[in-house]
Amino acid sequence: MKRNKKARQELLKDTIKITPFITDEELADRFSVSVQTIRLDRLELSIPELRERIKTVAEKNLEDEVRSLPMEEVIGEIIDLELDHSAISILDVTSEHVFKRNRIARGHHLFAQANSLAVAVINDELALTAKASIHFTRQVKENERVVAKAKVHRLEAGKGRTLVEVNSFVGNELVFSGEFEMFRSNKSKGND
């Protein structure tokens, strides 16, 4: 359904506020207009491009700092982090992540994104994956964006183990889920 410019721009503002990581292409599909129209609307509304929105959200939300591994070793880009509680990362699937013949993402990239996020959310100098239970729920294709969300569920006092659940989505569709049992060197951290 075609909307007039003012109505479309109001919906555009609301949509970006709710889902700040939505691409111009996804917005164009949602509003049945061209990508150029979306870009012009964003320009008129002073809404920055996706990369700037991601950077802004990341700077606002990364009050905690990853302790367990260098940021450059995290697969994907961490945009939200609360140590020993939750974390979010995004991974844009490009040609380097897919099989050449069918343009489907190699599973180890999705696993690596989830696993490194599970490590990053641990508030410890040393965090290692002791055990993982994973499930791929649908194929991910080139040019799709994977948003991984980690949540710390259980801290086992005295055992140095933490359970981290990671769910990865393309849009609102679950594409990967995993439970990671994490070993941590500082057994008392977060177990109070």
pLDDT in tens, 152-174: 987 666 676 899 999 999 999 99
Query: Of the segments 22-31, 32-41, 78-87, 138-147, which one has the largest average pLDDT value?
Result: 138-147
Question: Is the pLDDT confidence value at 136 over 50?
Answer: yes
> Please, which residues have CB within 8 angstroms of residue 140's CB and are 6 or more apart in sequence?
93, 104, 105, 110, 146, 170, 175, 176
Average pLDDT, the chain: 85
pTM of the model: 0.67
Spatial separation of the C-alpha atoms in residues 136 and 111, rounded to whole Å = 9
pLDDT at 123: 86
Determine how β-strand 145-156 pairs with β-strand 173-184: unpaired
Per DSSP bridges, beta strands 86-92 and 127-136 are unpaired
Residue ranges, comma separated, of all CATH 1.10.10.10 domains in the chain are 5-55
Range with lowest mean pLDDT among 53-57, 118-122, 139-143: 53-57
| Domain 64-184: CATH class, spelled out | alpha beta
Average pLDDT over residues 87-115: 95
- What pLDDT does 192 receive? 39
User: Which CATH number does 5-55 carry?
Assistant: 1.10.10.10
**Mean pLDDT value across residues 3-22:** 86
Segment 85-102 mean pLDDT: 94
For CATH 3.10.129.10, list the domain ranges present in the chain. 64-184
**How many other C-beta atoms are found inside a 10 Å radius of the C-beta of residue 79?**
22
